[in-house]
Amino acid sequence: MKALAGFVIAGLAVSCLGAAPPPPVGEERSPARPIGHESVRIIQETAQENFAGIALGLLAIEKSPDEAVRIHARVWIDDCVKLNKELMELARRKGILVPLAQIRLPREELASLAGQSGLEFEKAFALAAVNRDIQAETALRRFLAEPGDEEIRDFARQALADLGPRLENARQLGRKAGLAERQLNPPPVGEKLPGTENGSPKPSPPPLRFPPPQM
């Protein structure tokens, strides 16, 4: 499985995060507004979290007998692929390269999960899904704090709207597996999303993609 996951992730990396492609024929690349080093770092971190989500989702599809877990894993994979494609397009418009060599899969985490089965696997996967989504959420919130680029902020707002229901579903899977609330809800870094004050546009709520949890 690990060899298969590595092959799949490598293929996605080449298609989504290789060198930024040239503009389509007939389209001139407009001069990119200067973008801070922090935004470049956040883009790279977000891409890395997405590849980790794809790898962990593939493992869950293979190992878990629980259909709710497999549904969550498939949604997670789809979300990460979609977000990385959007991220690559954003990077292209900004003239940013996301170096493939800097993408690292969580090999130790994957190996630890692969060695577990049954309820212990369900617990470990749910906790990994929660923690990874919290890390992704933290990176996206930092996008919102970046001044001067509303396109990046709009990208982060929509990505956060998509991530929220998935994170809550991961917590539901954790509760079903017997994880404690303190494991599923670590203390928040901040209560208010920067950049959402003063009537900033809010993304439309995403459609329901998970079945009601069976406790």
Summarize pLDDT for 7-22 with one digit per residue, the tens. 454 545 444 444 444 4
Residue 42, C-beta contacts closer than 8 angstroms, at least 6 positions apart: 139, 140, 142, 143, 146
Q: Judge whether residue 74 has pLDDT over 90.
A: yes
Q: Judge whether residue 196 has pLDDT over 60.
A: no
Q: Which of 40-44, 76-80, 189-193 comes out lowest in average pLDDT? A: 189-193
Spell out the domain ranges in the chain.
Answer: 2-18+36-184
Q: What is the mean pLDDT of the chain?
A: 77
| Sign of the CA dihedral with 69 first, then 71, 75, and 77 last | positive
User: Has domain 2-18+36-184 been given CATH number 3.40.50.1970?
Assistant: no
pLDDT mean over 162-185 = 94
Percent of the chain with pLDDT over 90: 40
Select the more confidently predicted residue: 40 or 58.
Answer: 58
- Cα 6 to Cα 12, 26, 110, distances in angstroms: 10, 37, 11
Give the separation between CA 206 and CA 215, rounded to whole angstroms. Answer: 24
